[in-house]
Structure 1
Amino acid sequence: MRPMWTLLRTFSWQELRHHPWRSAAAVVAVMLGVALAFAVQLINSSALDEFAQAVRSVNGQPDLEVRAMQGALDEALYTPLATHPQVRQASPVLELTAMTRSASGGTATPLRVLGADALVLPGMAPALMPRPWDGSQRFALFEPATVFLNAAAFQALGLPTQAAQPAPTLVLQAGSQSHVVRVAGSVAAGGSALAVMDLGAAQDLFGRGGALSRIDLRLQPGTDRSAFAQALRSQPWWPAHAMAVQPGDVAERISLLSRAYRVNLTVLALVALFTGAFLVFSVLALSVAQRAPQFALLAVLGATPGQRLALVLLESGLLGLAGSVAGIALGTLLAQAALHLLGGDLGGGYFAGVQPALRWSTATALLYGSLGLVAALAGGWWPARNAQALPPAQTLKGLGQAASAPNRATAGLALLAAAALLALAPPIAGVPIAAYVSVGLLLVGGMALLPWAVALLLRLLHPLAASRALPLLALERARRMRGSAAIAIGGVVASLSLAVALTVMVASFRGSVMQWLDAVLPAPLYLRSSLQAAGGDAALLPATLAQDVARLSGVQRVEPLRASPVQLDPARPALTLLARPLGSDPAQRLPLVDAALPVPPGRMGIYISEAVVDLYGLQPGMDWPALSRSFRAPGQDGQAQDALFFIAGVWRDYARQSGAVALDLADYERLTGDARPSDLALWPQPGADSATLRQAIEALLPPGTADGAPRLELVSADAIRARSLRIFDRSFAVTYWLQAVAIGIGLFGVAASFGAQVLARRKEFGLLAHLGLTRRQILAVVAGEGAAWTGVGAAAGLLLGLAVSVVLVHVVNPQSFHWTMDMRVPLGRLLALCAAVVLAGTVTAWVAGRAAAGRDAVLAVKEDW
């Protein structure tokens, strides 16, 4: 037994030594697939871990957080919570956002401002405890207009981290008001730029007396958090718009929000690994076909069918192992470079501003290394089966069918039928797993039908080539060797079909976004605060600004718009409440999916985005009591305001994946009493100058800071469209790179397979030269074969890609991101892509033919004498 295994190992080593480029092609394919998938996973996990650490650092470790569904909490809620017998400690927090710059000037920076009670911080959130500088007043942490910064804020503002004389000052701008504060020390909390100050001082400074953002609770030992939160809702003093949430829900909501983007990126990265598995199949199938006489000789010498099977699987395993090890190393380098250059964002916008460090995971590395090994073994399974089933006697006599592939029409059709059924299945835990499997079955089924389709095509072409020698020669060889040709172009079909599908999906998405932007941006100009980066109340405009702007010369019409978050479910990201004038025909203001329903008397009509339909299980014609409760903050008379919302329609919204609700602005102002808009839509008079108009509007604001920085942004709808499309293209930049890698792997496989096949035909070319064919004619035959086969592969890849794109556009995208879009086929771009593939295949075959059709080809005929 040992001598036989020694012989088998020598046999495999000789194959790797004599065909290094062919083996290298498979190793590189597996390496790239593993590297991309592993890098995406490392980047995503590092960003999530960094974000979760920042949340824990700022929020501490309370047992529960009490928040309002929207707006602020009344400070009066603190007393019954703090004195509750099951509450050990309660910490009130006021959280605001502001834009800041040092008093000496510099770039404006978004700053998160936390007002907290320093007496309870050590036990609740020690990382937020102010640390006064040496020489500061003993009670500096309680002084008005005094803040303590974290390391990110010091770095962003370029301030010294040690005590300085005089103490550095900052200008905080929130809304139309500016405030000068003194820096008196630091805090240990990580994350983005942060300032901590005394709660009462923050309320006084920003005019938020009696308001809280949240109340953190530490419960008595043994208290069940879920039961306590449920009991709070039954207390008579509990506001209807308040909710008690677990502290980890914030990070979990971000993880849930970004999950679809992360999963799709990972799947796209695994596409390269799938293409690599098929390239391993192509390389080993060609290798087994060319070594059929040697396998037959090994069988005669005593190698069992099982040993021949194990030999080919061993070769594929070695290729997969080498590719996986190299892929883990390359993926680590790619992840490190991406985190350094791009942060953890990857274009999706979920972790903007987070600069995570690489968190390398041995378990993750082993997982993706195993995936590369499994992919290689899967690619080598059918070639190994062919080597196992090879008939020794017939093969030694030259009667074997080493190069042909069995007709798998039945299996291919069955796979396509299964793919169609899986495309109809619902998502699992919010992830379109069945749809991804459907895409995989479509690809495998389409490639399984490839030999059958090639045979059918050859039968149709035979009458056309019967009267011409060279085409007939190429056609007859293709007919007899259709299996090896189908194997060679399989990589093209796999990679091109995925590239076509992604191109159609991105084009459909981009076209739908452009159409949506036209619908939601009806005005020529839009006015907003320059503090949009800070968000929250800091970015709101004065309540009377819309009326004041409407009276200016050069303004024809003004519409105020308001966007505010509302948290209905602690397990889901916050919804966005959009209040805008809807008029009598909401279809003119919103891109409705279907016609709006009439609103019953005594109800308020609202219009939900497609994401709300999927996430909350709502449909037009239903009431939404949970949203009504979010508006039931106690009024001045102590009575709760009633809001009976009726869902009158569904609209498309590509800006908010977590869902949005649109309602009439008059209804929103009546329910909340808050008339401050987020944006103003402006229709200027013909010929009005935008810069002059912005200056006139700026003069309507209260006096600001002396640095002269503009407090308003006036942008055109065209500029907003251009910026939105840039964000869109940035979000899909990684997709384009993954698509290019998949195409590159496919073309690399075609070059390796065609090159090996052509170089193996030296005897055939020598015989043709002896029969009178010139070198030019031989090269024409070879190039024609390359063009024909890559043309067939391009056609098959195009058709299969269009089928896959239907699943991506109509199944994967709605199930992942909860919005629909219209399918658009960029025919010119797809044809150019197919033409590039055909050209690459033709050039590859011609170059390989030149090397094989030289003088050595004539001499190679003597090998049979």
Structure 2
Amino acid sequence: MAGFLRTLSWQDMRRNPGRNLVAAAAVMLGVALALAVHLINASALDEFSRAVRAAGGQPDLQLSAARGALPEQLFATVAAAPQVARAAPVLELAATARQDAPGGAPSARVALRVVGADALALPAMAPQLMPRLAPGADRLALFAPATVFLNASAAQALGLQPGADARLALQAGLRQVQVRVAGSVAAGGAPLAVMDIGAAQDLFGRGGELTRIDLLLQPGARPDALQRHLAALPGWPPGAVLAPPGSAAAQVDQLSRAYRVNLTVLALVALFTGAFLVYSVLALSVARRTPQLALLAVLGATPRQRLALVLLEAGLLGALGSAAGVALGTGLAALALRLLGGDLGGGYFSGVQPALQWSGAAALLYGLLGVAAALAGGWWPARAAQRLAPAPALKGVGLAETRAARAWVGLLLIAASALLALLPPIFGIPLAAYVSVGLLLVGGIALLPWLVQLLLGLLAPLAARGPLRLLALARAQRQRASAAVAVGGVVAALSLSVALTVMVASFRTSVDQWLGGVLPAPLYLRAAGSVAGDDAAVFPPDFVGQVERLPAVARVQPLRVSSVQIAPGRAPVALLARPLLPDASHALPLLGASLPVPPGRVGLYVSEAVVDLYGVRPGADWPALSEFFRPVAQAGQAQAASFFIAGVWRDYVRQHGAIAIDRQDWVRLTGDARASDLALWPVPGASDETVRAAVLALARAQLGAEGEALEFTSAGAIRARSLAIFDRSFAVTYWLQAVAIAIGLFGVAASFGAQVLARRKEFGLLAHLGLTRRQILAVVAAEGAAWTAVGTVAGTLLGLAVAVVLVHVVNPQSFHWTMDLTVPWARLAALALAVVAAGTLTAWATGRMAAGRDAVMAVKEDW
């Protein structure tokens, strides 16, 4: 009997290839998308980690400053510590490079990371950074001034042949220098140049500064003992960070984790829809095969065997879809890595071109998830086949649904979803919120029979006016569950599509409004290239005053961007110094009113990420930050600043957190009045080009900066570029949304097609009773429009509820910023109309096939 049932199951699947193909394709897409996202992110993170290890070397510990640079004289103190076996100084800076070809057209600029290191210490500390001399190069080129060694990606980006004698123009800040390429280094990753640390300090004017000190410890030495020893030394810089070399990769892993998890969950959305389509297909199959299943029961098939028969079909669908999904996901990952790199729009792995790192364990995991989703979708139809009563089923009676739809199950799931949405994140990931979304979807779909029953009761007076309407309503009243199955695919796909549409629209609108608040000036000036942090502070205070006195400039606002590493193992927090007084709400998008700063305190405004990551609150002091700022008093004694958190503001750029401080307080605390950016307001009537020409002429005369060393842009251009980056970041979300809609429409076709084809006898009987072909098609099309409309209404309402959880729970817990809920009604209306039209057209087309001569002849099957 078991072998016969397996053969029967396989034959039934072969007789209905189209219907089964839709369910298997849904599982395939879910597995493919989830596996592709996993492989892309795993490959990118692995490549980034290897690049960090290559560039950072193999020291036991790395010493860096919490803010700014380390003083060079600290190197001797650290190297003399009894726990240290070897120490190596390192200077890193960001620059742009292009080939210096006299008389030729300038080449494109390439973002380059310049590492100044001691060549004698590299073999032990960072062997992959050890320079390899080009053929014919002087062996003393390792220590020569203005001489660099490029890794393979830098040489390729600059169009240089291996071993070629070339010259480059490097620009760091406003300083532009000429260097000679004398060889290569083995380190992979993003474009990188290595040179002697003394030559780098002289070349870029960074004498006496170090970025970090790499340390090898004595055998048996403990890092905590070294930390205590160094902290007890006189003149030790406050907040100096001593951490393992892998902390940079760990920080990127931590920052990108929420992004990676969100993409994976969105990809698994397709698996959820696929599970429901498997349910829809098998539920209709069980309903159509009720006499066959009853006959099997009479012939000796036990209820457990009937259960296994349907689950076997579900498992076969899941296995076929998963196998195809693993192959498709691998291909998608390889294609994405080749065309897009490992970024996927998130910006965490920019400059990394990883190779595909295929994982058999990951493929097996997502394949099993696909099979599990299919089995979950087939469980309820299998239970219906198990509970089948053979005698009534053979007579074709006892199948009508007479029990009222029970709403308590769906309401209970929705209530549980609401409670889970209130829970905090787990390990920094909104796991409870994801479960909440799942329960909300399942609960909403569970309420469909009740909703159908409610709507049928409201439509009963209208249906009594015509026999065709009454016919459609009477059938629907007896087949509520079938109707719920038919529209369930619409609800599952449309709700997720609506939720993603609302979430993306809310985020984009909030970012657009935020840009208007943080970009008050029409024009902005900064150093060109990828300069960031303190390296971007290129405008001295004298230059700022001279710009303000230009006839075409009405007002200048200097801005300063720095960073401070408050906690080891976490990414540094951005520190923004800009004019904030007397009212910070004019300069920052505050959440709530600004608190008055008590006398003797320094007011701070922290981003939402700082509140979540460091547990600070408005109206409280922040002692942990005070040790990083020790202004020198008039008597020459150090004083610790006392910081007061005066407000919280939105920042959609820095996921690791940002702090805003008034510029006057910054200058008083640090003694550094340099600016990173200049916000410019032209006088009335002055064009942007006039202001640009005047400012660039002054920069050339006062700072020796050429036009290409400065980036002059408008607020409108910054806004357009930022929104373009946003759209690129959410390109994957748009694709996932399109996939969900496509799967939902396939589900509509499968559900209505199977239902209409299963009603050939009914259509034949109606034809014998005198109904014309057009009338039968009108009944079918009306049913399709009505059921799809019910599903569209339910899916839209459920999608809006899911969007509320995504916007107000998942997003803040994942990325530590909030946004306002924005509903794009026009797009949702267009989406709803498209779904209704597709459902109506599908019902009409399948009804047209089923209402022909075969339907009339099918009546003979009962004679």
Q: Deviation per CA, 1:52-89, whole angstroms, max 9, x where unpaired? A: 00000000111111000110001111112111121111
Kindly indicate whether residue 200 of structure 2 is the aligned counterpart of residue 199 of structure 1.
no
Secondary structure of the residue that 1:648 maps to in structure 2?
strand
Compute the displacement of 1:528 (Å).
1.6
Compute the displacement of 1:775 (Å).
0.8
The residue number in structure 2 matching 1:740 is 738
Distance 1:360 1:699 in 2: 54
Kindly indicate whether residue 63 of structure 2 is the aligned counterpart of residue 66 of structure 1.
yes
Letter in 2 for 1:504: V
Matches within 5 A, 1:52-201: 52-104=49-101, 105-162=106-163, 164=164, 167-201=165-199
Kept in 2, the 8 Å contact 1:260–1:431? The answer is yes
Compute the displacement of 1:566 (Å).
1.6
Q: Deviation per CA, 1:598-637, whole angstroms, max 9, x where unpaired? A: 1111111010001100000000122222222222488999
Secondary structure of the residue that 2:73 maps to in structure 1?
helix
Partner residue of 2:599 out of 582, 601, 604: 601
The residue number in structure 2 matching 1:310 is 308
The residue number in structure 1 matching 2:641 is 643
The residue number in structure 1 matching 2:817 is 819
Distance 1:20 1:182 in 2: 66
The residue number in structure 2 matching 1:6 is 3
Compute the displacement of 1:536 (Å).
5.3
Going from structure 1 to structure 2, the CA distance change for 1:110 and 1:807 (only over 3 Å counts) comes to: same
The residue number in structure 2 matching 1:220 is 218
Q: Deviation per CA, 1:687-741, whole angstroms, max 9, x where unpaired? A: 2122232122112224699996522222221221111111111111110110110
Letter in 1 for 2:840: T
The residue number in structure 1 matching 2:35 is 38
The residue number in structure 1 matching 2:844 is 846
Matches within 5 A, 1:645-724: 645-702=643-700, 710-724=708-722
Kept in 2, the 8 Å contact 1:770–1:858? The answer is yes
Distance 2:845 2:79 in 1: 81
Kindly indicate whether residue 548 of structure 2 is the aligned counterpart of residue 547 of structure 1.
no
Kindly indicate whether residue 615 of structure 2 is the aligned counterpart of residue 617 of structure 1.
yes
Higher deviation after alignment, 698-707 or 45-54: 698-707
Going from structure 1 to structure 2, the CA distance change for 1:658 and 1:516 (only over 3 Å counts) comes to: same
Distance 1:347 1:636 in 2: 50
Compute the displacement of 1:138 (Å).
2.6
Higher deviation after alignment, 217-226 or 707-716: 707-716
Distance 1:608 1:698 in 2: 34
Q: What stretches of structure 1 of length at least 5 have no aligned partner?
A: none
Going from structure 1 to structure 2, the CA distance change for 1:715 and 1:746 (only over 3 Å counts) comes to: same
Distance 1:857 1:459 in 2: 31
Matches within 5 A, 1:796-807: 796-807=794-805
Higher deviation after alignment, 63-72 or 636-645: 636-645
Kept in 1, the 8 Å contact 2:423–2:433? The answer is yes
Kept in 1, the 8 Å contact 2:174–2:705? The answer is no
Distance 1:833 1:276 in 2: 20
Going from structure 1 to structure 2, the CA distance change for 1:95 and 1:438 (only over 3 Å counts) comes to: same
Kept in 2, the 8 Å contact 1:176–1:702? The answer is no
Distance 2:623 2:202 in 1: 35
Going from structure 1 to structure 2, the CA distance change for 1:776 and 1:383 (only over 3 Å counts) comes to: same
Distance 2:43 2:314 in 1: 32
CA RMSD of aligned residues (A): 1.9
Distance 1:125 1:421 in 2: 52
Letter in 2 for 1:828: A
Distance 2:633 2:195 in 1: 29
Distance 2:529 2:676 in 1: 11
Distance 1:767 1:636 in 2: 103
Compute the displacement of 1:534 (Å).
6.7
Secondary structure of the residue that 1:139 maps to in structure 2?
helix
Letter in 2 for 1:769: A
Distance 1:861 1:448 in 2: 35
The residue number in structure 2 matching 1:792 is 790
Secondary structure of the residue that 2:674 maps to in structure 1?
coil
Distance 1:710 1:691 in 2: 15
The residue number in structure 1 matching 2:355 is 357
Kept in 2, the 8 Å contact 1:100–1:111? The answer is yes
Distance 1:674 1:486 in 2: 68
Kept in 1, the 8 Å contact 2:631–2:640? The answer is no
Matches within 5 A, 1:13-24: 13-24=10-21
Compute the displacement of 1:817 (Å).
0.8
Letter in 2 for 1:298: L
Q: Deviation per CA, 1:561-604, whole angstroms, max 9, x where unpaired? A: 11112211122211110110112111111111011111111111
Letter in 1 for 2:690: T
Kindly indicate whether residue 467 of structure 2 is the aligned counterpart of residue 469 of structure 1.
yes
The residue number in structure 2 matching 1:256 is 254
Kept in 2, the 8 Å contact 1:289–1:403? The answer is no
Distance 1:327 1:742 in 2: 15
Secondary structure of the residue that 1:503 maps to in structure 2?
helix
Distance 1:825 1:348 in 2: 24
Q: TM-score, normalised by structure 2?
A: 0.97
Distance 1:378 1:540 in 2: 61
The residue number in structure 2 matching 1:49 is 46
Partner residue of 2:393 out of 375, 395, 399: 395
Distance 1:255 1:454 in 2: 47
Going from structure 1 to structure 2, the CA distance change for 1:535 and 1:311 (only over 3 Å counts) comes to: same
Higher deviation after alignment, 273-282 or 625-634: 625-634
Distance 2:582 2:599 in 1: 14
Secondary structure of the residue that 1:742 maps to in structure 2?
helix
Matches within 5 A, 1:320-719: 320-401=318-399, 407-532=405-530, 537=535, 540-632=538-630, 639-702=637-700, 710-719=708-717
Secondary structure of the residue that 1:89 maps to in structure 2?
strand
Distance 1:18 1:533 in 2: 64
Distance 1:153 1:735 in 2: 32
Secondary structure of the residue that 1:768 maps to in structure 2?
helix
Kept in 2, the 8 Å contact 1:427–1:815? The answer is yes
Distance 1:435 1:342 in 2: 30
Identity of aligned residues (%): 68
Letter in 2 for 1:148: F
Distance 2:538 2:21 in 1: 60
Distance 1:641 1:366 in 2: 60
Kept in 2, the 8 Å contact 1:612–1:659? The answer is yes
Distance 1:403 1:285 in 2: 14
Secondary structure of the residue that 2:200 maps to in structure 1?
helix
Distance 2:358 2:404 in 1: 45
Secondary structure of the residue that 2:817 maps to in structure 1?
coil
Q: What stretches of structure 2 of length at least 5 have no aligned partner?
A: none
What stretches of structure 1 move > 6 A for 4+ residues in a row? 402-406, 633-638, 703-708
Compute the displacement of 1:675 (Å).
2.0
Secondary structure of the residue that 1:700 maps to in structure 2?
helix
Distance 2:775 2:523 in 1: 66
Distance 1:576 1:223 in 2: 34
Kept in 1, the 8 Å contact 2:489–2:744? The answer is yes
Distance 1:285 1:638 in 2: 83
Kept in 1, the 8 Å contact 2:585–2:594? The answer is yes
Compute the displacement of 1:556 (Å).
0.6
Kindly indicate whether residue 729 of structure 2 is the aligned counterpart of residue 728 of structure 1.
no
Distance 2:573 2:443 in 1: 41
Distance 1:236 1:705 in 2: 38
Distance 1:379 1:750 in 2: 16
Kept in 2, the 8 Å contact 1:281–1:382? The answer is yes
Kept in 1, the 8 Å contact 2:498–2:796? The answer is yes
Kept in 1, the 8 Å contact 2:341–2:352? The answer is yes
